[in-house]
Chains A and B, each alone.
Chain A
Amino acid sequence: MLGVGAYRTRNRPALSEVLPLPIGEMSWALTDHRDQSVRPTDWAGHPVMVFFGFTWCPDVCPTTLSDISLWLEDLGADANRLIVALISVDPERDTPAVLADYVSSFDPRIIGLTGPADEVAKAAADFRVTYRRVDKDGGDYTMDHTAGVFLFHPDGRFASIIDFHEDRRFAVPKIRRTLS
């Protein structure tokens, strides 16, 4: 079971079961929106901001991406070393080409990541993220997924989570604390 589920079903989960792994201990291999392969080791030495989502949804994900774009605008060049990645929980529909189209509407520092279903599952497990396919009438489906934005220090240690709807006045300082 992934993190949040474990948190609810056990009385006292160890912190290591709830908090994302340090980036350096993660094991996924994904592909970015420019068709380049990306591994956790590629991010060594960089502060990192990651969130999970999918491009089919017109509400949560564009809203998060708009927020992130505004935070990055606020931070300006200070955030140039920050790795900012959207990891798709819907790799079936989110090909690198679709992600490229999608992220082109937002801050150019945001990258999209996708890959085989088992690598996405590995990434979700490493970040302690939950996601679930929900079938709709007419053959369509949507995805429920963890909506927070994860922050990591340059040495890969987990720093904090920015919750969905969290006030920008708190989000930007949280990011700033990972930049030095």
Chain B
Amino acid sequence: MKHFLLAASLTLSAPAAMACETVTIGDLTVEHAWSKATIGAGRPGVFYVEITNTGSTDDALVGIATPAAGMPMLHETVVQDGIASMPHAMSIPVPAGQSVQLSPGGYHGMLMGLTTALKEGDSFSVTLTFEKAGEVTVNVDVLSLRAEGPDCADAGQ
């Protein structure tokens, strides 16, 4: 049974398929969830996603959880005076009527304490917790370390 489940989850992880899924919760649309392959399990993975708030109330992403990592956190890459750092982001605003991207060089989920190395073609789930909308779970595609984002038909919109 365990084997069967594993096989099923691998079959479902066709590249760029899940990243192009759209999940909604209340007024929020969550899509383009992806990650990058890692060198081993000792280095953190990364989580990127796009969130659109179609409602009239501001919301905020306040946390992420995943079976793939023991200590997932929200970070923001900041470049100040030419120096890059990535402080912890307590919450990521998702203002009414706007889209927010967790994307390379900006906000990102930092997946520390990976349970296993992330390999291109794998997928895993991440549960996002919003201040108002509550929790929603998305499937995340692992792309190559070099990837700049999932290749969805509607990408770049």
Q: Taking beta carbons and an 8 Å cutoff, which residues of A are in contact with B?
A: 4, 7-8, 55-60, 62-63, 65-66, 69, 98, 101-102, 105-106, 130, 134, 136, 138, 140, 142, 144-148, 161, 163-165
On whether the beta carbons of B146 and A106 are closer than 8 Å, the reply is yes
Q: Indicate if the CB atoms of B105 and A63 lie closer than 8 Å.
A: yes
Please indicate the chain A residues that have their CB under 8 angstroms from the CB of B105 in the complex: 59-60, 63, 164-165
Q: Return 16 A-B CB contacts under 8 Å, by A number.
A: A55-B43, A56-B44, A58-B45, A59-B86, A59-B105, A60-B84, A62-B145, A102-B39, A105-B37, A106-B145, A142-B86, A144-B84, A146-B82, A147-B83, A163-B82, A165-B105
Which one of A57, A138, A161 lies within 8 Å of B86 (CB-CB)? A57
Q: Closest 9 interchain pairs by CB? A: A58-B46, A147-B84, A105-B145, A63-B104, A144-B85, A60-B84, A105-B146, A164-B79, A63-B105
Instruction: Find chain B residues with CB under 8 A from A8 CB.
Output: 81
Residue B14 lies at the interface, judged by CB distance under 8 Å to chain A: no
Cβ of B32 within 8 Å of any chain A Cβ, yes or no, is no
Q: Which of B33-85 contact A (CB under 8 A)?
A: 36-39, 43-46, 71, 75, 77, 79, 81-85
Q: Is B90 an interface residue (CB 8 A)?
A: no
The answer to whether residues A66 and B147 also contact, given A59-B105, A165-B105 and a CB cut-off of 8 A, is yes
From B111, which residue of chain A is reached at the shortest CB distance? A58
Q: Across the interface, which residues of A come within 8 angstroms of B44, CB to CB?
A: 56-58
CB neighbours of A57 from chain B (8 A): 44, 86
B137 within 8 Å of A by Cβ?
no
- Interface-central residue, A58, A60, A69, by most chain B CB under 10 Å: A58
